[in-house]
Amino acid sequence: MTASLPPPPGADPAPGSLGVAVEDAPAGWRRTFASLRHRNYRLWFGGQLVSLFGTWMQSAALGYLVFELTHSSSYLGYVAFAAGAPSWLFMLWAGTLADRLDRRRLLLATQVAMLVLSAALAGLTFGGWVRPWHLLLFAFGLGAANAFDAPVRQAIVPDLVGRRDVTNAIALNSLMFNSATTLGPAVGGGIYAAIGPGWCFSINAVSFLAVLGALLRMRLAPLPAATRSGTALGELRDGLRYVVHRRTLLVLVLFALVVTVFGFSFVNLLPAWAVRVLHGDAATHGWLQSSRGLGALVCALVVASLGRFRFRGLLLTAGSLALPLALLAFAASRHPLASYAALCGYGAALVLVFSLANALLQTLSDDAFRGRVMAIYSFAFFGFLPLGALAAGAAADAVGEPLTIAVGAGVVLLASVVILLVYPPLRRTA
């Protein structure tokens, strides 16, 4: 919360109002894992950790399979665009559903859809029938499921732990996400090189059973009935006005958008970087992805260990400056070890930016608008990521991957400096 402003409505719900225990923050190292005191979050953490491991194996295999079939950086952009295009169609509406309907049931539906898609892709790959256009269709289907999944996944976190532990829970979400990012791509790259991509897709399909089981075992208190404007369109407009009229929320969403387009979309170029710049193979691509995950993993542990700290805005500002500097170092690297090291630092900065922006949005938002706020935030990422990926792929084919990444890093650095100078309240946001 901002020191000079009163807390937003619903900022501190009464103990137990969200169906979770509220205790004083544990001391010492135990505060790093404070959210695991909540049974529902323990189930969520375990199920997601298994599922995300499979997801990152699939992600690494899919990217390399696209490049192996097409030998085109532009086609990598096309696949990323296909995955993100459904966000424009569905994600903002999904935010209204997250405020209207049972969030656990929505997540069960999206997880089943993703399981079926991964199993279908595995069947095509094992049969030797997979073609580039199949991968475009798969990416679009996965993007459609994710468009409904992402806002609900974000909005359900306070339901699992209560508002006081939201920052810790989001940091632990980053921890499990980046644990999977660290190990999944490296293992996926090795499996791809040894026995083929079909096994990566199959393992991912099976991994969804873990999160489905966790969701079914949760005991969530019913949420209070939401105040409705009468129509989904009216509620969507209310959510957009809510964000626009709260300056800190708007700055956080806009900066996340800039980082997504210019500072994250380059990830789709990593298969090309592994082959063209580092002269490697699928295993090299896996290590690039895992290096990014390792830096993020370490940083997520640090953020989680800080507990209910009151300098989140300052730490977010530091991350916003460190991120483009790490990207510039990566753009200048030509040796595998240098690339791994630069991506490690980039991954750490990325966690500071996205996990703290997420936590601030969750804690500064009224409960009645949380689903829509997180849908807008998710849309800034998933909706604009395909546009950035499409542009990055085309630029890489025209001027090369290093210059493309360097220019994007420069834009992020400029945006960070502008926010630092023009909007000092962000640094003071607690």
Q: How far apart are CA 165 and CA 26, in angstroms?
A: 11
Residue 331 within any structural domain of the chain: yes
Q: What is the pLDDT of residue 197?
A: 92
First to last CA, the chain: 5
**How many domains, in total, are found in the chain?**
1
The pLDDT of residue 20 is: 37
> How far is the C-alpha of 178 from the C-alpha of 44, rounded, in Å?
15
User: What's the domain range around 247?
Assistant: 34-219+230-428
| CATH value at residue 38 | 1.20.1250.20
Per-residue pLDDT 10s for the chain (430 aa) are 333 333 333 333 333 333 333 344 444 456 678 888 889 999 999 999 899 889 989 988 998 899 889 988 788 878 888 888 888 888 888 888 887 888 899 999 999 999 999 999 999 999 999 999 999 999 999 999 998 998 888 888 888 887 777 778 877 887 787 777 677 777 888 898 889 899 999 999 999 999 999 999 998 776 655 555 567 778 888 888 898 888 888 888 999 999 999 988 888 788 888 888 888 887 788 788 788 878 888 887 777 777 555 667 777 888 889 999 999 999 999 888 999 999 999 999 988 888 888 888 888 888 778 788 888 888 888 788 878 888 888 888 888 889 999 999 999 999 999 888 887 766 666 5
Is 8 contained in some domain?
A: no
Nearest alpha carbon to residue 342 among 354, 331, 353, 355: 331
Q: Is residue 396 part of a domain?
A: yes
pLDDT at 25: 44
Q: Look up the pTM and report it.
A: 0.71
Flag whether 28 is in a domain: no
- The answer as to whether 19 is a domain residue is no
Instruction: Give domain status of residue 29, yes or no.
Output: no
Q: 328-335: which pairs have CB atoms within 8 A and are 24 or more residues apart?
A: 328/406, 328/409, 328/410, 328/413, 330/405, 331/402, 331/403, 331/405, 331/406, 331/409, 332/402, 332/406, 334/277, 334/278, 335/278
CA angle 258, 259, 260 (to 5 degrees): 90
Single-letter code of the amino acid located at 330: F
